A = this chain, B = another copy of it.
Amino acid sequence: MKLLTLARDLSRRKAREKHSLFIAEGVRSVEELVRSGLKVRGALVAPQLATAPRGQALRATFDESGIDVLDVSEKDFRSAAQTESPQGVLAIGEVPVRSVDTLEVGAVCRLLVLDGVQDPGNVGTILRTAAALGATATVALPGTVDLWNPKVIRSSMGAQFTHQAFHAGHEELIAFLGREKIVLWATAANGQPLDPASAPGRLAIAVGNEGAGLSTEVADRAQQTVSLPIAGNVESLNVAVATAIFLYELRR
């Protein structure tokens, strides 16, 4: 498939899953993608890249790295771009092969489980935070937005290019946790107050859907449900904020 047609197609989740490809858009995301070492299938470049900050350097990097570049008109670029004021560059990357089977777990680990978190901006922020705070991996259960959605990538600043983030089914995850003797904690507003000192070495922590909370699979399997103490007149914390506090408090 031609690069332009492929790039347009990859705006749909089904197409991303079928091809195992995703789009990184904008100078910064594409720089991160090239730096990450993930395989790059090709790049689309529109004339305005020449005037974008670091645009010419990025173009040179494509040539040095042997990355296929297709020069397109601004109009064609817009037909594939997701942002409102595109910088004139996007790259098609290969989704890395990751699963519970490729995950290496040491004596101490912090696994983050996204149990149906739907907002792409929140999930992107969570991935960026998980990478920054040294989480071992992030596992997205069914109902979670596609980790390779362009809005997630924008909001994560490409954290998933290197952070071990991937999708998995409930049973797959739960079997893995059992096999590796990883304790699962759930988070919910009505849980016990978080006590980081009581956390085991190998821990997975699950955060639920913004409205509906946790799936029954996760709630049934969790050894403990923990919560953050918050003021009575505030209903809840934003899911990315709550996740950040949990990961910080439980970091090793």
Contacts and interface: CB of A to CB of B under 8 A. Distances in A.
A213 interface: no
Contacts of A134: 231
A234 B159 contact: yes
Interface of A: 121, 125, 128-129, 131-134, 157, 159, 162, 228, 230-231, 233-238, 240-241, 244-245, 248-249
A249 B125 CA distance: 20
Contacts of A234: 128, 131-132, 159
A245 B209 CA distance: 21
A236 to B, nearest CB: 8
A238 B131 contact: no
B162 A125 contact: no
Contacts of A236: 132
Given A244-B244, A245-B248, A238 B133 contact: no
A157 B233 CA distance: 12
A129 B238 contact: yes
A35 to B, nearest CB: 9
A129 B244 CA distance: 12
A162 B132 contact: no
A129 B162 CA distance: 29
Given A134-B231, A230-B133, A231-B134, A238 B237 contact: no
B162 A238 contact: no
A154 B28 CA distance: 29
A195 to B, nearest CB: 14
Question: Which 10 residue pairs of A and B lie closest in terms of their CB atoms, listed nearest first?
Answer: A132-B234, A132-B230, A241-B244, A245-B248, A131-B234, A125-B238, A129-B241, A134-B231, A132-B237, A132-B231
B235 A238 contact: no
A160 to B, nearest CB: 12
A231 B130 CA distance: 10
B131 A233 contact: yes
28 contacts: A121-B121, A125-B238, A125-B240, A125-B241, A128-B237, A128-B238, A128-B241, A129-B238, A129-B241, A131-B231, A131-B234, A132-B230, A132-B231, A132-B234, A132-B236, A132-B237, A133-B230, A134-B231, A159-B234, A162-B233, A228-B248, A237-B244, A241-B241, A241-B244, A244-B244, A245-B248, A248-B248, A248-B249
Contacts of A238: 125, 128-129, 240
